[in-house]
Structure 1
């Protein structure tokens, strides 16, 4: 079996291919060479992407990668490689999804899919598009590990077994019933629809009540926000994305789970942009057009499988 590559490495590789296809200055060449040399997985990720191209496309792509070892030819080689990979990106979505291991998750959804599942204990679990969870139920406790995406949980009462949702940033214990958990970047966001939860993160605890939202990361819980729980649940029911003064990067990350292929963006570059909007997740192209009309961003489509969002030149 082929070893898996971290999803972030695959994303970085795709970013480099697009960047080098449009930017060939010396500084970019040097940065690309440094990226290739920093980790064997970087070169391996590009090679893996080549493996999904048609045979006629593979030969020039491999040659381009070999030439990339020569500093003066780096930009030209990367450009050729980028064009070849862009032609074959139709195969990337299934590959990337499988490499992340989500196909082996206990429950998962693909791009744009929604799923509702009744668990063995009677709890109800709903998965948004591009989400995955593992289940760990035993006589002492019930745990849902959120691997990716966003879930809505309606917890069944069980006096003997507490119910938890775990992410890399912490653990959420259900003290009541309905809540939403979303993984976004290196953080987790919890939104209470009904009753309460207790969040344990970085040695700190925080209890959330109805209509409250909290984002937490490796540093612990952030600031509690008030939200319209009814509106959020209605948006979920109608497959809509409701954002109220949220970072644009978080909105794009959620949209990315509802479209085939890759939606690329630089979270750091977009960190100053926040949005309040209602978007259709079932039509991500329309959602992106709506965002582009109201924000200083450009949406570039390279193929049906690769889209990039950047700041407009005046804002860079």
Structure 2
């Protein structure tokens, strides 16, 4: 079963699908609810896509399904002690979405990583010496393809984050490709980081210079040492200073200098299992400080101390950051 990307389905629809999925797993679910589910499913193609997504994730991540069922029992017990049925259903639906979507992200990235030349899992970092003597660091949940021959050196970043320390001068061109475009490293020593998220690439150049061309419109930019740039397949954002966070993760810390909270949370999420999300209202809050990647619970405590936010935990697998 194909799992649709989360970005193509509205979050509210995924919540509905997860609620139905959890509800229908209950042994005492009456037939009337099954009929209501079928009616909901037939209302819109997006409902069907969301259902296939959530059901596919549930089938592939049985241990989390068991946790959802256990938590459903706990919530029903809480309801008996005063929690309303609506509150219980809402919490259970949130748990279903969080756990299942967290599992989906892990599963999809893991499957893609199986066929990559180099890959890491959740919370992993890896350092590799390439054929030309260059050093490559892979962050968590990263997959890279390599192709080195007599004519060229090529790295393909499928997803995740890498830091590259280029070796001594080599006559062969050195290129790094993502879904958004291609970066060619200038001759000589160079140090740069590349992060690939869905539909978006970030380049930081610490040493040397890099020529970038977008995948769709073939726009070109030169990025010198000390600068960085964000780009998609069809456009460039204005250049900025190279971000310290692009290389600090190799030391096990995330150095945030006016970093959007959304970016910080997305990075921390690659270093812990389950779902780590944030309320849209606080996505653009700017974060300053240094956060440990190998102890994300401590990082979340530091985040609470630094910003007007609170960390809400429904389970170990569902954590969300909300306005305080």
* Partner residue in 2 for 1:132: 143
Q: How does 1:60-79 map onto structure 2 within 5 Å?
A: none
* Partner residue in 1 for 2:58: 50
Secondary structure in structure 2 of the residue aligned to 1:302 = strand
Q: Deviations over 1:167-215 (max 9, x none)?
A: 1222111114211111245321111121111111243222222221211
Secondary structure in structure 2 of the residue aligned to 1:38 = helix
Rounded to whole Å, the distance in 1 between the matches of 2:241 and 2:92 is 50
Structure 1's 90 and 156: CA in aligned 2 closer, same or farther, altered over 3 A? closer
Give yes or no for contact 2:116–2:143 (8 Å, CA) kept in 1: yes
State the 1:298 CA deviation. 2.6
Structure 1's 183 and 11: CA in aligned 2 closer, same or farther, altered over 3 A? farther
Rounded to whole Å, the distance in 2 between the matches of 1:59 and 1:214 is 41
* Partner residue in 2 for 1:224: 239
Rounded to whole Å, the distance in 1 between the matches of 2:101 and 2:46 is 25
Give yes or no for contact 1:7–1:96 (8 Å, CA) kept in 2: no
Secondary structure in structure 1 of the residue aligned to 2:298 = helix
* Partner residue in 2 for 1:6: 5
Rounded to whole Å, the distance in 2 between the matches of 1:56 and 1:249 is 28
* Partner residue in 2 for 1:151: 162
Does residue 37 of structure 1 match 2:52? no
Q: How does 1:86-105 map onto structure 2 within 5 Å?
A: 95-99=107-111, 101-105=112-116
Secondary structure in structure 2 of the residue aligned to 1:290 = helix
Structure 1's 139 and 250: CA in aligned 2 closer, same or farther, altered over 3 A? same
Q: How does 1:119-198 map onto structure 2 within 5 Å?
A: 119-157=130-168, 159-175=170-186, 176=188, 177-198=190-211
Unpaired segments ≥5 residues, structure 1? 22-28, 62-73
Rounded to whole Å, the distance in 2 between the matches of 1:284 and 1:182 is 20
Secondary structure in structure 1 of the residue aligned to 2:299 = helix
Rounded to whole Å, the distance in 2 between the matches of 1:124 and 1:165 is 14
Structure 1's 203 and 214: CA in aligned 2 closer, same or farther, altered over 3 A? same
Rounded to whole Å, the distance in 1 between the matches of 2:41 and 2:265 is 29
Rounded to whole Å, the distance in 2 between the matches of 1:48 and 1:13 is 18
Q: TM-score, normalised by structure 1?
A: 0.74
Q: How does 1:158-307 map onto structure 2 within 5 Å?
A: 159-175=170-186, 176=188, 177-201=190-214, 202-227=217-242, 233=247, 235-266=248-279, 268-307=280-319
Structure 1's 18 and 283: CA in aligned 2 closer, same or farther, altered over 3 A? farther
- Name the stretch that deviates more: 134-143 or 146-155: 134-143
Does residue 114 of structure 1 match 2:129? no
Secondary structure in structure 2 of the residue aligned to 1:289 = helix
Structure 1's 35 and 272: CA in aligned 2 closer, same or farther, altered over 3 A? farther
Rounded to whole Å, the distance in 1 between the matches of 2:194 and 2:121 is 18
Calculate the aligned-residue CA RMSD, in Å.
4.0
